[in-house]
Amino acid sequence: MKFFIDTANLAQIREANDLGILDGVTTNPSLMAKEGIKGYDAVMQHYLDICSAVDGDISAEVIATDFAGMVREGEELASLSDKIVVKIPMIKEGIKAITYFSRKGIKTNCTLVFSAGQALLAAKAGATYVSPFIGRIDDASWDGVGLIEQIVGIYGNYEANTQILAASIRNPLHIVKCAEVGADVVTCPLDAILGLLQHPLTDIGLAKFLADAQKMN
Ligand code: E4P
């Protein structure tokens, strides 16, 4: 399973990348705004900075919601680097845009996916990634990991090329559960990735080893 980090914060991206386990980055307009990135030039430069920091796929989201606008923005984003994946919302115009980019060999990430039917359409359009938002589904009292499992089953029936990118991850358990059901990718906040490191028995065991190591001096 690939690990992406879900942030536009360069310090966090570099910290995750330094672990040596990072395969890519996802951003969205909310995450970019949170970092105070404003204006066309600053946005483009920020994507370039992320591309320089990480060797992997970097999702950059279009703002337009019409086909022509998505194509224009997506082509500008894709021209920044081969690492850029054009992130497109799961709407009718978005499916048209994903089909367009797929035929041109430009990578896409179909975002804001909340049902198996939407995931089926994204794959049919040729999306490189489909992003079901499992945390937001859980927040609404549905089963986010259950949706990932359902999509894994459906894609498996047809050997779909679209990679299932579990998004809106809230905690380390979400990551483990996504791995259990066969997600291709998880995109996570840094805290959720670092949370995987934690176990009290590791801390207790290390403290004991270090204390005993003193006796070896
Ligand atoms: C996906 O690519 C989105 O950026 C993200 O995972 C949404 O997560 P949130 O529900 O925590 O905003």
Token pair listed for 23 = 């395969």
CA 145–ligand 1 middle distance (angstroms): 15
Confidence at residue 25, expressed as pLDDT on a 0 to 100 scale: 98
Specify which residues 97 forms β-bridges with: none
Confidence at residue 86, expressed as pLDDT on a 0 to 100 scale: 98
Distances (CA, A) of 131 to 27, 53, 76, 182, 200: 12, 23, 22, 14, 33
Token pair listed for 92 = 């009718």
Type of residue at 150: Q
Confidence at residue 114, expressed as pLDDT on a 0 to 100 scale: 98
For the entire predicted model, the pTM comes to 0.96
Q: How confident is the model at residue 67 (pLDDT cuts 50, 70, 90)?
A: very high
Confidence at residue 70, expressed as pLDDT on a 0 to 100 scale: 98
Q: How confident is the model at residue 58 (pLDDT cuts 50, 70, 90)?
A: very high
Specify which residues 130 forms β-bridges with: 110, 164
**Average of per-residue pLDDT across 175-197:** 98
**For the CA of 109, the nearest atom of ligand 1:** 2
Confidence at residue 199, expressed as pLDDT on a 0 to 100 scale: 98
pLDDT in tens, 126-172: 999 999 999 999 999 999 999 999 999 999 999 889 999 999 999 99
Q: How confident is the model at residue 63 (pLDDT cuts 50, 70, 90)?
A: very high
CA 124–ligand 1 middle distance (angstroms): 23
Pocket test for ligand 1, best of 174, 187, 188 (most atoms within 8 A of CB): 187
Q: Which residues are the active-site residues?
A: 87
pLDDT in tens, 103-132: 999 999 999 999 999 999 999 999 999 999
State the average pLDDT for the chain.
98
- If you take atom 5 of ligand 1, which residue's CA is the nearest one? 168
Pocket test for ligand 1, best of 4, 87, 129, 133 (most atoms within 8 A of CB): 133
Tell me the percentage of the chain whose pLDDT exceeds 90: 99
CA 211–ligand 1 middle distance (angstroms): 43
- SS3 for the chain, per residue? CEEEEECCCHHHHHHHHHCCCCCEEECCHHHHHHCCCCCHHHHHHHHHHHHHHCCCEEEEECCCCCHHHHHHHHHHHHCCCCCEEEEEECCHHHHHHHHHHHHHCCCEEEEEECCHHHHHHHHHHCCCEEEEEHHHHHHCCCCHHHHHHHHHHHHHHHCCCCEEEEECCCCHHHHHHHHHHCCCEEEECHHHHHHCCCCHHHHHHHHHHHHHHHCCC
Q: How confident is the model at residue 90 (pLDDT cuts 50, 70, 90)?
A: very high
Token pair listed for 86 = 């054009």
**Average of per-residue pLDDT across 48-59:** 98
